[in-house]
Chains A and B, each alone.
Chain A
Amino acid sequence: MNRVIAVFTKESFLVPLVAIILGLLTGAIAMLAGGFNPAKAYMALIEKVFGSAYNFGETIRQITPLIFTGLAVAFAFRTGLFNIGAEGQFIAGMIASTAVGVSFDLPAYIHAPLAVIAGAIAGGLWGSIAGYLKAARGVNEVITSIMLNWVALYLGNWIMNAFYVPSGQQRSEMIHDSASITIGWLSEMFDSARLHWGTLIAVIAAIFFYVILWKTKSGFELRAVGLNPHASEYAGMNVNRNVVKAMFIGGMFAGIGGASEVLGVFHYQAIMTAQPGYGFDGIAVALIGGNTPLGVILGAILFGILTFGAAGMKFGAGVPVELIRVVIASVIFFVAAHGIVKVFIKPILKKQKEGGN
């Protein structure tokens, strides 16, 4: 029991926890300033998410892409890279899986996996552009991946317009049923909430994340390069190759996320007027989750609940849905500036020391 308490009072766990509380408080203050009742709004949020089977299922749908993009950012983080490009990798995945889903006519047991794999590879390749430029030309991956997000957005729209969108339409043809990864029976159980195999793949991806980083030699190299590239180089590791590899694997996670949105949720790809946003939310998810696979899943659950429940706040308490962005922004901010959080934690830790020991 003591061990459990120790885990939950560790600073690494306390920082995100306090950041979340501070974020929710910031949201509450913004609501008060806007003349809303924060208690009522947060209650409405919870009610929205857990109130009906359909909404609960849709919340799971909302959480799924966040796990993928969260893993994409976290994986790169573990190897010393800041992947702001999950957005673009996500788009690359959507486009590739749409292409495969629409173009081919195959039996389902080949078609669906092929479409998912296409998304994974497209996302991986898109990620590895930033990785390659970092490795070969020493370019900071933060800026390139931001720029590549926009390139992906417009390039994706162009590919869709040129090949897959019937003229005069704003979205592609539907993917063939054989490429769909929707789980029919589960969807029926949740009043036709759009549940799909992507959720299971996300959990497997998180396990894969753990196994590859902590249980394989190659993962050891990736982490070593992230912790100290110079020492790793001295130890005979190929730093550049690891950078590209890390961005490829990270991009793959985001790519599958994009693929499962298309194959499992929408079954088509719309012309995008803005970035889907999951990539940016993924940064928050990864940060909250301390860049660990379990943390990412927990972070994604939190953010999925917040973003899906925001609609409930609107109906229940009149609070504009954008407020939840303020909460998320504050949480990211407080995690980034954990120095500020520590100011809040210090008294708690002190008390514990005095009382506990």
Chain B
Amino acid sequence: MDWGLIISNLVHDTIVFSTALIFASLGGLYSERSGVVNIALEGMMIIGAFTGAVITYAFQDSFAAGAPWLGFLAAGIAGAIFALPHAVASITFKADQTVSGVALNFLAAGLSVYLTKIIFNGAGQTTTLTSVFSKWSIPGLHDIPFLGHAIFEAYPTSYLAFIMVFLTWYLIFKTPFGLRLRAVGEHPRAADTVGINVKKMRYLAVTISGVLAAWGGATISLTTTSNFSHNTVSGQGFIAIAALIFGKWHPAGAMGAALFFGVAQSIKSLVQIFGLTKYVPTEFIYMLPYILTVLVMAGFVGRSNAPAALGKPYETGSR
């Protein structure tokens, strides 16, 4: 048994599985840092996965390798549009943000399969895409034994996700925009007093949230599954929320948590390969991320501090 190869594969798979979670939990981060609860990440991912697959399908004959990029871009736009109702309901109409999120999850699940059936003549899934993202090997570096395969051979979306983590960290903690965003989520009244447009900031944050979460979904349909069906996303949006909480609403933390949940995913196949299912049932590995999240939230693994104004609609001029 070659442990080097096994671990190399494990790291490689972890990165593949984590990419979607990183995108989506970063998406959640923008929204929640601005004070808007976003349990609609799942729905936004579904819309992204669906749009990515359909647009890529439409253009794969004429654009070949460029088609998945077009699909990815379209997914982001669709995500932004899909996020708008959540913003309108929770910011302008001061709706219960959780309920509005639940509604969007419902909507995405129904709408995506409905449209798929219309576009693909009644089939519940898109045709398998002939053109999806292929892995990029970083010249020179990917020749390093073990490490090369583990880290320097990945889908372009994975590289993009890691860049996004850095960009988000920089934007949130090092720029005036980030300061305003956090202020709006921590103490909207104070932010309002110093002339920050609370509603505008929140609208922006929820929109960005939609783009990133949709990219997360598109990552799945354009790399691992090569099509879209009703179970393409299957709960990853909820794991992304878990990653966000686990990572204490910090980009690096969210990334770390996403990687951790990615490990849990890739270990699943490892456990099956080695016949370890006799000792550890796969169901328990499936459960792990959720149980850990509950434990984290209960403070058994460490406190997690949500933005202070999370979930509270803001009334202009309120005290």
Contact = CB atoms under 8 A, between A and B. Distances in A.
B137 to A, nearest CB: 36
A154 B94 CA distance: 36
B294 A339 contact: no
B54 to A, nearest CB: 14
Interface string B151-194: 00000000000000000000000000000000000000000000
B283 A280 contact: no
Interface stretch (B8-16, B65-73, B218-226, B231-239): B231-239
Query: Which residue of B114, B241, B286 has the most chain A CB atoms within 10 A of its CB atom?
Result: B114
A190 interface: no
Interface string B87-98: 011101111101
B114 A30 contact: yes
Contacts of B109: 322, 325
B110 A326 contact: yes
B19 interface: no
Interface string A273-284: 110000010011
A158 B287 CA distance: 10
Interface stretch (A145-153, A199-207, A213-221, A262-270): A145-153
A155 B231 CA distance: 20
A25 to B, nearest CB: 15
A146 B39 contact: yes
Nearest to A160: B283
Interface residues of A, number: 46
A320 interface: yes
A283 B235 CA distance: 18
Contacts of B106: 280, 284, 325, 328-329, 332
Interface residues of B, number: 47
Query: Which residue of A162, A323, A325, A336 has the most chain B CB atoms within 10 A of its CB atom?
Result: A336
B290 A147 contact: yes
A197 B122 CA distance: 37
A142 interface: yes
Interface string B22-53: 00000000000000000100000000000000
Interface in B100-123: 100, 102-104, 106-107, 109-111, 113-115, 117-118, 122
A329 B110 contact: yes
B283 A154 contact: yes
Contacts of A323: 110, 114
A146 B238 contact: yes
Interface string A14-43: 000000000000000010001100000000
A133 interface: yes
Query: Which residue of A144, A146, A147, A340 has the most chain B CB atoms within 10 A of its CB atom?
Result: A147
A191 B19 CA distance: 52
A336 B287 contact: no
A94 B273 CA distance: 32
A339 B117 contact: no
A150 B298 contact: no
Interface in B201-243: 231, 234-235, 238, 241-242
Interface in A131-165: 133, 137, 139-140, 142-144, 146-148, 150-151, 154-155, 157-158, 161-162
Query: Which residue of B98, B110, B291 has the most chain A CB atoms within 10 A of its CB atom?
Result: B110
Given A329-B104, A333-B89, A338-B95, A150 B287 contact: yes
A147 B294 contact: yes
A143 B293 contact: yes
Interface in A307-339: 320, 322-326, 328-330, 332-333, 335-339
Contacts of A143: 241-242, 245, 293, 297
Query: Which residue of A140, A150, A330 has the most chain B CB atoms within 10 A of its CB atom?
Result: A150
A91 interface: no
A82 interface: yes
A320 B234 contact: no
A143 B103 CA distance: 16
A336 B99 contact: yes
Closest 10 pairs (CB-CB, A-B): A325-B110, A339-B93, A329-B107, A329-B106, A337-B89, A158-B283, A336-B99, A333-B103, A337-B95, A332-B103
Given A325-B110, A332-B103, A338-B95, 10 more contacts: A35-B118, A133-B297, A147-B242, A151-B287, A280-B102, A322-B114, A333-B89, A336-B89, A337-B90, A339-B95
Interface of A: 30, 34-35, 82, 84, 133, 137, 139-140, 142-144, 146-148, 150-151, 154-155, 157-158, 161-162, 273-274, 280, 283-284, 287, 320, 322-326, 328-330, 332-333, 335-340
29 contacts: A30-B111, A34-B115, A137-B297, A139-B294, A139-B297, A139-B298, A140-B306, A146-B241, A150-B290, A151-B290, A154-B283, A154-B287, A155-B283, A283-B99, A284-B106, A320-B113, A322-B109, A325-B110, A326-B114, A328-B106, A329-B110, A332-B103, A332-B106, A333-B103, A333-B104, A337-B90, A339-B92, A339-B94, A340-B89
